[in-house]
Amino acid sequence: MILRRLWEHDLAWSFRRSPVTIVATALTLIWVGAALLAPWVSPQDPFDMASLNLSDAFTPPAWDEKGIGRYPLGTDNQGRDILSTIMHGARISLGVGLAAVLFALVLGVSLGLLAGYLGGRVEAIIMRIADVQLSFPAILIALLIDGVARVALPGDRHDELAIPVLVLAIGFAGWVQYARTVRGSTMVEKSKEYVQAARVIGRRPLAIMLSHVLPNVMGPVLVIATIHIATAIITEATLSFLGVGVPATRPSLGTLIRIGNEFLYSGEWWITLFPGIALVVLVLSVNLLGDWLRDALNPKLR
Protein backbone atom coordinates (compact mmCIF):
# COMPACT_ATOMS: atom_id res chain seq x y z
CA MET A 1 0.00 0.00 0.00
CA ILE A 2 2.73 2.44 1.02
CA LEU A 3 4.81 1.34 -1.93
CA ARG A 4 1.91 1.97 -4.21
CA ARG A 5 1.40 5.45 -2.76
CA LEU A 6 5.08 6.16 -3.22
CA TRP A 7 4.99 4.87 -6.77
CA GLU A 8 2.19 7.21 -7.64
CA HIS A 9 3.64 10.21 -5.83
CA ASP A 10 4.50 13.25 -7.95
CA LEU A 11 8.21 12.85 -7.38
CA ALA A 12 8.16 9.19 -8.33
CA TRP A 13 6.20 9.97 -11.44
CA SER A 14 8.68 12.57 -12.57
CA PHE A 15 11.50 10.18 -11.64
CA ARG A 16 10.10 7.40 -13.82
CA ARG A 17 9.75 9.76 -16.73
CA SER A 18 13.44 10.83 -16.66
CA PRO A 19 15.84 8.12 -17.84
CA VAL A 20 18.82 10.42 -17.19
CA THR A 21 17.85 10.63 -13.55
CA ILE A 22 17.44 6.86 -13.30
CA VAL A 23 20.96 6.35 -14.67
CA ALA A 24 22.36 9.06 -12.42
CA THR A 25 20.71 7.48 -9.38
CA ALA A 26 22.02 4.07 -10.31
CA LEU A 27 25.55 5.44 -10.69
CA THR A 28 25.34 7.35 -7.42
CA LEU A 29 24.13 4.22 -5.65
CA ILE A 30 26.98 2.20 -7.13
CA TRP A 31 29.42 4.83 -5.90
CA VAL A 32 27.96 4.97 -2.44
CA GLY A 33 27.97 1.17 -2.33
CA ALA A 34 31.57 0.98 -3.48
CA ALA A 35 32.61 3.60 -0.98
CA LEU A 36 30.78 1.98 1.92
CA LEU A 37 31.91 -1.54 1.12
CA ALA A 38 35.45 -0.67 -0.02
CA PRO A 39 37.25 -2.35 2.91
CA TRP A 40 35.48 -5.64 2.15
CA VAL A 41 35.17 -5.74 -1.64
CA SER A 42 38.27 -3.92 -2.92
CA PRO A 43 40.95 -6.34 -4.16
CA GLN A 44 43.70 -4.72 -2.05
CA ASP A 45 43.90 -2.48 1.00
CA PRO A 46 45.88 0.45 -0.39
CA PHE A 47 46.36 1.98 3.05
CA ASP A 48 48.09 -1.08 4.44
CA MET A 49 51.68 -0.23 3.59
CA ALA A 50 52.84 -3.81 4.16
CA SER A 51 50.63 -5.06 1.33
CA LEU A 52 52.24 -2.77 -1.26
CA ASN A 53 54.91 -4.10 -3.51
CA LEU A 54 57.22 -1.57 -5.14
CA SER A 55 58.19 -3.99 -7.87
CA ASP A 56 54.54 -4.06 -9.01
CA ALA A 57 54.48 -0.28 -9.43
CA PHE A 58 53.49 1.21 -12.80
CA THR A 59 51.70 -1.96 -13.93
CA PRO A 60 49.40 -0.97 -16.82
CA PRO A 61 45.70 -1.95 -16.89
CA ALA A 62 44.88 -5.64 -17.25
CA TRP A 63 44.00 -5.46 -20.95
CA ASP A 64 47.45 -4.11 -21.80
CA GLU A 65 49.90 -6.85 -22.72
CA LYS A 66 52.08 -5.95 -19.72
CA GLY A 67 49.07 -5.85 -17.39
CA ILE A 68 48.44 -8.29 -14.55
CA GLY A 69 44.97 -9.67 -13.79
CA ARG A 70 45.39 -8.84 -10.11
CA TYR A 71 45.41 -5.14 -10.97
CA PRO A 72 42.46 -4.57 -13.34
CA LEU A 73 43.12 -0.83 -13.74
CA GLY A 74 46.89 -0.99 -13.20
CA THR A 75 48.95 0.34 -10.29
CA ASP A 76 50.41 3.70 -9.27
CA ASN A 77 54.00 4.66 -8.49
CA GLN A 78 54.01 2.83 -5.14
CA GLY A 79 52.39 -0.36 -6.41
CA ARG A 80 48.89 0.50 -5.19
CA ASP A 81 46.05 -1.10 -7.12
CA ILE A 82 44.27 1.78 -8.87
CA LEU A 83 40.80 0.19 -8.63
CA SER A 84 41.10 -0.35 -4.87
CA THR A 85 42.56 3.10 -4.40
CA ILE A 86 39.68 4.67 -6.36
CA MET A 87 37.18 2.83 -4.15
CA HIS A 88 38.93 3.91 -0.97
CA GLY A 89 39.47 7.35 -2.45
CA ALA A 90 35.78 7.70 -3.23
CA ARG A 91 35.12 6.81 0.39
CA ILE A 92 37.20 9.77 1.50
CA SER A 93 35.84 12.07 -1.23
CA LEU A 94 32.20 11.20 -0.50
CA GLY A 95 32.74 11.24 3.24
CA VAL A 96 34.43 14.63 3.21
CA GLY A 97 31.82 15.95 0.77
CA LEU A 98 28.85 14.79 2.86
CA ALA A 99 30.33 15.90 6.16
CA ALA A 100 31.23 19.32 4.75
CA VAL A 101 27.73 19.77 3.31
CA LEU A 102 26.15 18.74 6.60
CA PHE A 103 28.35 21.21 8.47
CA ALA A 104 27.59 24.01 6.00
CA LEU A 105 23.89 23.15 6.10
CA VAL A 106 23.59 23.26 9.87
CA LEU A 107 25.61 26.46 10.11
CA GLY A 108 23.91 28.17 7.16
CA VAL A 109 20.36 27.19 8.06
CA SER A 110 20.74 28.28 11.70
CA LEU A 111 22.22 31.63 10.77
CA GLY A 112 19.64 32.10 8.00
CA LEU A 113 16.77 31.34 10.38
CA LEU A 114 18.12 33.75 12.98
CA ALA A 115 18.67 36.47 10.43
CA GLY A 116 15.28 36.05 8.78
CA TYR A 117 13.24 35.69 11.95
CA LEU A 118 14.95 38.19 14.24
CA GLY A 119 15.76 40.79 11.60
CA GLY A 120 17.34 44.06 12.71
CA ARG A 121 20.95 44.20 13.76
CA VAL A 122 21.41 40.41 13.90
CA GLU A 123 20.27 40.14 10.30
CA ALA A 124 22.46 43.03 9.18
CA ILE A 125 25.60 41.52 10.73
CA ILE A 126 25.01 37.99 9.48
CA MET A 127 24.07 39.03 5.99
CA ARG A 128 26.96 41.50 5.58
CA ILE A 129 29.39 38.75 6.58
CA ALA A 130 27.69 36.56 4.00
CA ASP A 131 27.98 39.26 1.34
CA VAL A 132 31.68 39.75 2.02
CA GLN A 133 32.30 36.02 1.87
CA LEU A 134 30.31 35.73 -1.36
CA SER A 135 32.75 38.09 -3.05
CA PHE A 136 35.52 35.49 -2.66
CA PRO A 137 35.53 32.20 -4.57
CA ALA A 138 34.79 29.25 -2.30
CA ILE A 139 38.08 27.52 -3.14
CA LEU A 140 40.02 30.56 -1.94
CA ILE A 141 38.28 30.54 1.41
CA ALA A 142 38.83 26.81 1.79
CA LEU A 143 42.53 27.30 0.96
CA LEU A 144 42.77 30.11 3.49
CA ILE A 145 41.21 28.11 6.30
CA ASP A 146 43.27 25.07 5.44
CA GLY A 147 46.45 27.17 5.35
CA VAL A 148 45.76 28.80 8.70
CA ALA A 149 44.94 25.43 10.27
CA ARG A 150 48.17 23.97 8.97
CA VAL A 151 50.25 26.68 10.60
CA ALA A 152 48.27 26.57 13.83
CA LEU A 153 48.33 22.79 14.30
CA PRO A 154 51.40 20.90 15.53
CA GLY A 155 53.44 19.52 12.63
CA ASP A 156 53.35 15.82 13.45
CA ARG A 157 49.55 15.74 13.75
CA HIS A 158 48.83 17.20 10.30
CA ASP A 159 48.02 13.85 8.79
CA GLU A 160 45.57 12.76 11.48
CA LEU A 161 43.78 16.10 11.45
CA ALA A 162 43.87 16.61 7.69
CA ILE A 163 40.37 15.28 7.08
CA PRO A 164 38.52 17.16 9.88
CA VAL A 165 40.33 20.35 8.82
CA LEU A 166 39.26 19.74 5.24
CA VAL A 167 35.63 19.25 6.29
CA LEU A 168 35.64 22.49 8.27
CA ALA A 169 37.36 24.40 5.48
CA ILE A 170 34.96 23.27 2.77
CA GLY A 171 31.95 23.65 5.09
CA PHE A 172 32.85 27.20 6.06
CA ALA A 173 33.29 28.05 2.41
CA GLY A 174 29.73 26.96 1.60
CA TRP A 175 27.38 28.11 4.37
CA VAL A 176 26.40 31.39 2.68
CA GLN A 177 24.04 29.90 0.09
CA TYR A 178 22.01 28.17 2.78
CA ALA A 179 21.84 31.24 4.95
CA ARG A 180 20.64 33.46 2.10
CA THR A 181 18.00 31.02 0.91
CA VAL A 182 16.68 30.26 4.38
CA ARG A 183 16.62 33.92 5.35
CA GLY A 184 14.51 34.74 2.29
CA SER A 185 12.00 31.96 2.89
CA THR A 186 11.89 32.71 6.62
CA MET A 187 10.97 36.31 5.96
CA VAL A 188 8.09 35.14 3.77
CA GLU A 189 6.91 32.54 6.31
CA LYS A 190 7.26 34.91 9.25
CA SER A 191 4.38 37.08 8.08
CA LYS A 192 2.04 34.12 7.47
CA GLU A 193 -0.89 33.50 9.79
CA TYR A 194 0.28 30.24 11.33
CA VAL A 195 3.43 31.90 12.60
CA GLN A 196 1.45 34.84 13.94
CA ALA A 197 -0.94 32.41 15.59
CA ALA A 198 1.94 30.59 17.25
CA ARG A 199 3.26 33.88 18.47
CA VAL A 200 -0.13 34.90 19.85
CA ILE A 201 -0.44 31.72 21.90
CA GLY A 202 2.91 32.57 23.45
CA ARG A 203 5.42 30.14 22.00
CA ARG A 204 8.99 31.24 22.36
CA PRO A 205 10.84 32.48 19.24
CA LEU A 206 13.29 29.53 19.23
CA ALA A 207 10.46 27.03 19.31
CA ILE A 208 8.63 28.85 16.52
CA MET A 209 11.76 28.90 14.40
CA LEU A 210 12.52 25.23 14.86
CA SER A 211 9.12 23.59 14.85
CA HIS A 212 7.07 25.90 12.64
CA VAL A 213 9.30 27.83 10.25
CA LEU A 214 12.10 25.32 9.69
CA PRO A 215 10.03 22.50 8.15
CA ASN A 216 8.54 24.94 5.67
CA VAL A 217 11.85 26.30 4.43
CA MET A 218 13.67 22.98 4.10
CA GLY A 219 12.54 22.18 0.53
CA PRO A 220 14.95 24.49 -1.32
CA VAL A 221 17.66 23.70 1.23
CA LEU A 222 17.61 20.02 0.26
CA VAL A 223 18.03 20.95 -3.39
CA ILE A 224 20.97 23.22 -2.63
CA ALA A 225 22.48 20.51 -0.44
CA THR A 226 22.34 17.90 -3.19
CA ILE A 227 24.07 20.17 -5.68
CA HIS A 228 26.46 21.32 -2.97
CA ILE A 229 27.63 17.73 -2.42
CA ALA A 230 28.97 17.71 -5.97
CA THR A 231 30.68 21.08 -5.45
CA ALA A 232 32.14 19.96 -2.14
CA ILE A 233 33.59 16.82 -3.73
CA ILE A 234 35.16 18.95 -6.47
CA THR A 235 36.55 21.39 -3.88
CA GLU A 236 38.07 18.54 -1.91
CA ALA A 237 39.58 17.11 -5.10
CA THR A 238 40.97 20.52 -6.05
CA LEU A 239 42.54 21.03 -2.63
CA SER A 240 44.04 17.57 -2.69
CA PHE A 241 45.23 18.14 -6.24
CA LEU A 242 46.98 21.29 -5.08
CA GLY A 243 48.62 19.21 -2.37
CA VAL A 244 46.93 20.77 0.66
CA GLY A 245 44.16 18.20 1.15
CA VAL A 246 44.45 14.65 2.40
CA PRO A 247 47.95 13.14 2.84
CA ALA A 248 49.53 11.10 0.05
CA THR A 249 49.53 7.94 2.14
CA ARG A 250 45.71 8.02 2.26
CA PRO A 251 44.87 9.26 -1.21
CA SER A 252 41.50 10.69 -2.20
CA LEU A 253 40.53 11.03 -5.85
CA GLY A 254 42.15 14.47 -6.12
CA THR A 255 45.43 13.21 -4.62
CA LEU A 256 45.42 10.32 -7.08
CA ILE A 257 44.98 12.67 -10.01
CA ARG A 258 47.83 14.82 -8.75
CA ILE A 259 50.14 11.83 -8.33
CA GLY A 260 49.25 10.59 -11.80
CA ASN A 261 49.72 13.99 -13.35
CA GLU A 262 53.50 13.70 -12.87
CA PHE A 263 53.57 10.59 -14.99
CA LEU A 264 51.59 11.81 -17.99
CA TYR A 265 54.69 12.69 -20.02
CA SER A 266 56.29 9.34 -19.39
CA GLY A 267 53.23 7.47 -20.68
CA GLU A 268 51.66 6.09 -17.47
CA TRP A 269 48.29 7.57 -18.30
CA TRP A 270 46.17 5.19 -16.25
CA ILE A 271 47.27 6.60 -12.90
CA THR A 272 45.55 9.90 -13.57
CA LEU A 273 42.89 8.91 -16.15
CA PHE A 274 40.87 6.40 -14.13
CA PRO A 275 40.59 8.50 -10.97
CA GLY A 276 39.76 11.41 -13.26
CA ILE A 277 36.92 9.50 -14.93
CA ALA A 278 35.76 8.29 -11.52
CA LEU A 279 35.59 11.87 -10.25
CA VAL A 280 33.72 13.10 -13.33
CA VAL A 281 31.16 10.30 -13.13
CA LEU A 282 30.62 10.76 -9.41
CA VAL A 283 30.20 14.52 -9.60
CA LEU A 284 28.08 14.39 -12.73
CA SER A 285 25.62 11.87 -11.34
CA VAL A 286 25.21 13.71 -8.04
CA ASN A 287 24.76 16.93 -9.97
CA LEU A 288 22.13 15.44 -12.32
CA LEU A 289 20.28 14.10 -9.33
CA GLY A 290 20.32 17.54 -7.75
CA ASP A 291 19.10 19.15 -10.95
CA TRP A 292 16.22 16.76 -11.22
CA LEU A 293 15.28 17.30 -7.59
CA ARG A 294 15.27 21.05 -8.14
CA ASP A 295 13.00 20.78 -11.16
CA ALA A 296 10.71 18.24 -9.54
CA LEU A 297 10.25 20.34 -6.40
CA ASN A 298 9.80 23.61 -8.27
CA PRO A 299 6.07 24.34 -8.54
CA LYS A 300 6.65 26.78 -11.38
CA LEU A 301 8.07 24.09 -13.62
CA ARG A 302 5.44 21.48 -12.90
Partner 1 sequence: MRLLAAILALMVAPAYAVTLKWAAQNDILTMDPHSQNHATTHAIMQYAYEGLTRYSKDYQIEPCLATSWDKVSETQYRFHLRKNVKFHDGSPFTADDVVFSFGRIKQPQGTNQIYVAGIKEVKKVDDTTVDLMLEGPHPLLLKNIVDFRIMSKSWSEKNRSQNIQDYSKQEETYASRNTNGTGPYLIKGWEPDKRIVMAVNKEWWGKLDGNITDVIYTPIKSDATRVSALLSGEVDLVTDLPTQDVERLRKEPALKILDGHEVRTIFIGLDQHNDELKYANVKGKNPFKDLRVRKALNMAIDREAIRKVTMRGLSIPAGIMIAPGVHGHSKDIDIVPKFDPAAAKKLLAEAGYPDGFEFTLDCPNNRYVNDEKICQALVSMWAKAGVRVKLNAMQFATYIPKLLNFDTSAYMLGWGVPTFDGLYTLQSLVHTKTKGADGSFNQGRISDKKLDEIIDQLKIETDTNKRDALLKQGLEITRDQAYYVPLHHQMRPWAMKKGVTIVYSLDDRPQARFATVK
What does the binding site for partner 1 look like in residue numbers (CB under 8 A)? 48-50, 52-55, 57-58, 77-79, 155-156, 158-159, 248-249, 261-268
CB nearer partner 1, residue 56 or residue 295: 56
Closest distance to partner 1 from the beta carbon of 152 (Å): 14
Distances (CA, A) of 62 to 30, 31, 55: 22, 22, 16
CB nearer partner 1, residue 58 or residue 241: 58
Closest distance to partner 1 from the beta carbon of 162 (Å): 12
Closest distance to partner 1 from the beta carbon of 68 (Å): 15
The residues facing 55 across adjacent strands are none
Burial class for 73, CB neighbours closer than 10 Å (0-12, 13-18, 19+):
buried
Closest distance to partner 1 from the beta carbon of 115 (Å): 42
The 3-state DSSP class for residue 74 equals: coil
CB nearer partner 1, residue 12 or residue 57: 57
Closest distance to partner 1 from the beta carbon of 35 (Å): 24
Distances (CA, A) of 188 to 107, 153, 198, 204, 216: 21, 43, 15, 19, 10
CB nearer partner 1, residue 121 or residue 157: 157
Distances (CA, A) of 296 to 6, 13, 195, 270, 286: 15, 10, 27, 38, 15
Nearest to 240 by CA among 137, 163, 164, 136: 163
Q: Who contacts 162 (Cβ-Cβ below 8 Å, separation ≥6)? A: 245, 246, 247
CB nearer partner 1, residue 249 or residue 298: 249
Distances (CA, A) of 19 to 7, 32, 254, 294: 16, 20, 29, 16
Closest distance to partner 1 from the beta carbon of 74 (Å): 14
CB nearer partner 1, residue 52 or residue 224: 52
